[in-house]
């Protein structure tokens, strides 16, 4: 990311660096639509191939909310609508995806890290109403509908947080969550949307969660999860983004405290194609 709503000399220098692949935006980068358009255009003038991204899901995770941006509902609202009228819910999810993507693309933003594919197990404070539903089948259908709406407005997608963040109560922003279920249990439930959407997902973001019965490393630092299970077993061929490496869940790998550079190197060697480092500009 960059420090604020306008680029300074340090931002320009870092954006020009050949190892910089993208730019992630937050609420602090937004003052108005005109200012956002200018910021993105300036960044892309430095690097035309820059991928400009944002966490814009709807509900409480929506970075831009004023000056013409539509307030989108939390994804749980579509799951609740599904229980009353399934077909209407799929259409509403597509409409939300279209609005989300069209408004961002109009400002030059390329990608939103959406949809959340985590299941709503009821105990996760960080996921909560960001999840569509408890049933993996409902999550898959509603996510695919949302992704169709994104596509209509020219935006790709990013399913998160592989293989599932919804079962653990701890927040990986501040702690290292541990999910003690077996691989069989995870693949039969939380990871199902990734299997069913293996050809539809453009990108995936793994969770900063440790699944000790599968690997000692968090999923985003695990070749077992990313190369063997996601790529080979589930057949995923898109891009893999790490989650934010400044989160507490990424600060310890294999029980050892690591620097940001070390975390990035481990994530890339484990199978990530791009790594995110947020709020450290």
CB of 23 within 8 A of CB of 2?
yes
Note if 243 is an active site residue. yes
E-strand stretches of the chain: 22-25, 51-54, 56-58, 61-62, 111-112, 159-162, 203-206, 239-244, 252-253, 256-257, 274-276
Measure CA 254 to chain center.
23
Note if 173 is an active site residue. yes
Q: Report the distance separating Cα 77 and Cα 81, nearest Å.
A: 6
Number of C-alpha atoms within 13 angstroms, CB side, residue 195? 13
Rg (C-alpha) for the chain, rounded Å, is: 18
Of the candidates 121, 148, 171, 173, the residue annotated as catalytic is 173
Q: Report the distance separating Cα 44 and Cα 133, nearest Å.
A: 37
Strand order in the sheet with 203-206: 159-162, 203-206, 239-244, 274-276
Would you name the residues annotated as active-site residues? Answer: 173, 243
């Amino acid at each position: 990311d960059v420090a604020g709503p306008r680029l300074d000399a340090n931002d320009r220098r870092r954006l020009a660096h050949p190892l910089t692949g993208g730019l992630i935006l937050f609420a602090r980068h937004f003052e108005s639509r005109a200012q956002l358009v200018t910021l993105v255009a300036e960044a892309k003038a430095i690097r035309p191939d820059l991928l400009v991204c944002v966490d814009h899901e709807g509900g409480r995770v929506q970075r831009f909310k004023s000056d013409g941006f539509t307030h989108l509902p939390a994804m749980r609202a579509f799951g609740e609508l599904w229980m009353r009228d399934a077909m209407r819910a799929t259409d509403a999810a597509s409409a939300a995806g279209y609005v989300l993507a069209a408004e961002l693309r109009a400002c030059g933003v390329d990608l939103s890290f959406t949809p959340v594919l985590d299941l709503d197990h009821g105990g996760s404070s960080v996921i909560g109403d960001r999840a569509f539903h408890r049933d993996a089948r409902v999550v898959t259908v509603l996510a695919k509908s949302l992704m169709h709406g994104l596509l209509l407005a020219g935006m790709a997608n990013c399913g998160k947080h592989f293989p599932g963040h919804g079962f653990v109560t701890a927040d990986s922003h501040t702690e290292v969550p541990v999910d003690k279920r077996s691989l069989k249990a995870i693949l039969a439930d939380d990871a199902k949307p990734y299997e069913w959407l293996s050809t539809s997902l453009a990108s995936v973001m793994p969770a900063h969660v440790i699944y000790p019965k599968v690997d000692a490393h968090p999923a985003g630092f695990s070749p077992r999860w990313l190369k063997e299970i996601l790529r080979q077993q589930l057949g995923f061929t898109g891009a893999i983004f790490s989650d934010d490496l400044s989160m507490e869940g990424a600060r310890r790998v294999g029980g050892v405290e690591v620097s940001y550079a070390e975390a990035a190197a481990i994530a890339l060697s484990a199978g990530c194609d791009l790594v995110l480092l947020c709020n450290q500009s």
